[in-house]
Amino acid sequence: MKTLNSNKANLLLLFTRDPYVKLVNKELEYYCSDDNSLIGFVSLDKEDDTFHAMLFDRDSRNKYCLVSMKLDYCSIEEARLGLEKLMDTYTKNDDALRREQPANDFFTSIAKPEQRHPFFELLLDKDGFFCAAKSVIEELSYHFEDRDGNFVNQFQSKNGFDARIWELYLWCYFREENFHFNYDYDAPDFIIEKMGFEVAIEAVHVARKQSFTDPVNIPTFEEIRKKMEDEIPLMYGSPLYSKLKHTYQNQPYWELAHVKGKPLVYAIADFHADMSMTWSFPGIISILYGIDQKAIHNDDGTISLENESGVVFQKGELKIRPLFLDDQFKHVSAVLFSPCGTLSKFNRMGVQAGYGNRKNKLFQIKMGYNNASDTIFPNIFGGPVNDNCHETWADGIQIFHNPLAELPLDPALFPHAGHHFYDNGLIRSSIPQNHIISTTTYNIKNLPIDPPSFTFQSADKFDEIIKKWRM
């Protein structure tokens, strides 16, 4: 028996462990057998302070499942020895591990070559930058329920890859927040449940407008400022409004029997251009609440934050009100957004779990919320991605609550997300410490050592400019 990277254990067991059990059972140490086939953990029962040993093996669909356990040890040392004995004496029972359905296969090509998404092609390169992401998606696929039967084809295609990656990401995040899934219905995309509370989630995305052959082009600050006036807010508003008008079996989602009485959330991501999710985030606040925030450079060299509310958007001759201040959207409880639901997220999670090509290095730069009350500047972190890092699926998740919602969403159901509320023309937010605003990952080939880390926070370098900035 040997120790197992906790990042890898959490990935392999994400959909194996029962969420309710996790609430009362604290996992302490992870191990695998010498041949890497079995995994297990030692845990603490928070109800009675006893220790448990749990052993897992793969079934015929390649999913890890519980095959043996010993409970109620008096110490962690006894539980550790108990797990080692379970591994040493375990005999595989093929009949007990046989399942009716075959293992999912996301990567055998079924889409025509000319229809395949370039990022899917990158996943197939076993020596490329995204081989860690492929390992992660492969492990997740064994647990996936393809309800409509066309997931794999869309996952491989230009028209479907972004949407399916976003759905995979949301699926992982909801499980990390200890939700169960109801797979009895085809729409909306998720019905999730925790402690007797259910939420309906529909995934939506801003479709790609940039050509696949165009070079990566990040707009300048001036270009971004101009785009934020109408273009980006309306870019988010269009698919959200389309979802509002969308019906399933001739009914809007909130009228469906299995959705009625449950909060309805639209989960949106921006894929309109390469790296657009790193800068387009303020457009959501604008289109939902009609709020525009600008950093104003004053004549004396200081910078102050200006908040404008009541913004209305122009599309041709049509004036468009903020969505959450429009009674039509009262059926939508909240909008969920993340800048992190991309292939790079899966790649980082894979590298942290020990997957990937060691010749390729990842370096991540993160902008995080600065919780200090006297600053408008974010915290900025940069560092190599390796198995000493620990990233969660919740990083970057933002939930914007509808002030006019008929069925408000309880923020306590999503404790690791950032929550934003409209309050008389202002945004009131509840944000975890250093919660992610945006992140950029750099792929570096044939670098012999990890690049150095850096941190730019208010506690140190911010102090150097505090006199210039009026904070």
- Domain parsing of the chain, residue ranges: 2-89, 117-471
Residue 317 CA to its chain's centroid (Å): 37
Task: Answer yes or no: are the C-beta atoms of 298 and 287 closer than 8 Å.
Answer: no
pLDDT computed for residue 182 by the predictor: 95
Confidence of residue 460 (pLDDT cuts 50, 70, 90): very low
What percentage of the chain reaches a pLDDT higher than 90?
Answer: 66
Confidence of residue 126 (pLDDT cuts 50, 70, 90): confident
Own/partner contacts of 213-220, CB < 8 Å, gap of 24 or more, are 214/274, 216/274, 216/275, 217/273, 217/274, 218/274, 218/275, 218/278, 218/279, 219/279
Q: What DSSP letter does each residue of 261-302 carry, written as one string?
A: TS-EEEEEEE-SSTTGGGT-THHHHHHHH--EEEEEE-TTS-
Could you tell me how many residues make up the chain? Answer: 471
Confidence of residue 462 (pLDDT cuts 50, 70, 90): very low
pLDDT computed for residue 457 by the predictor: 59
Average pLDDT, the chain: 89
Q: Is the pLDDT of residue 471 over 60?
A: no
The better pLDDT of the pair 155, 313 is held by: 155
What percentage of the chain reaches a pLDDT higher than 70?
Answer: 94
Strand ranges inside 33-114, DSSP E? 39-45, 51-58, 64-73
The mean per-residue pLDDT over the stretch 202-226 comes to: 81
User: What is the per-residue pLDDT across 316-347, written as a single tens digit (0 to 9) for each?
Assistant: 777 888 999 999 999 999 999 999 999 999 99
Q: What DSSP letter does each residue of 348-367 carry, written as one string?
A: HHHHHTT-S-TTEEEEEEEE
pLDDT computed for residue 171 by the predictor: 97
d(CA 270, CA 206): 5
User: What is the per-residue pLDDT across 268-320, written as a single tens digit (0 to 9) for each?
Assistant: 999 988 888 888 888 999 999 998 877 676 777 666 777 788 888 877 777 88
69-78, 380-389, 450-459: segment of lowest average pLDDT: 450-459
User: What is the per-residue pLDDT across 419-433, written as a single tens digit (0 to 9) for each?
Assistant: 999 998 989 999 998
pLDDT computed for residue 433 by the predictor: 86
The better pLDDT of the pair 208, 116 is held by: 116
Confidence of residue 467 (pLDDT cuts 50, 70, 90): very low
Q: Is the pLDDT of residue 220 over 60?
A: yes
d(CA 120, CA 116): 7
The mean per-residue pLDDT over the stretch 209-231 comes to: 79
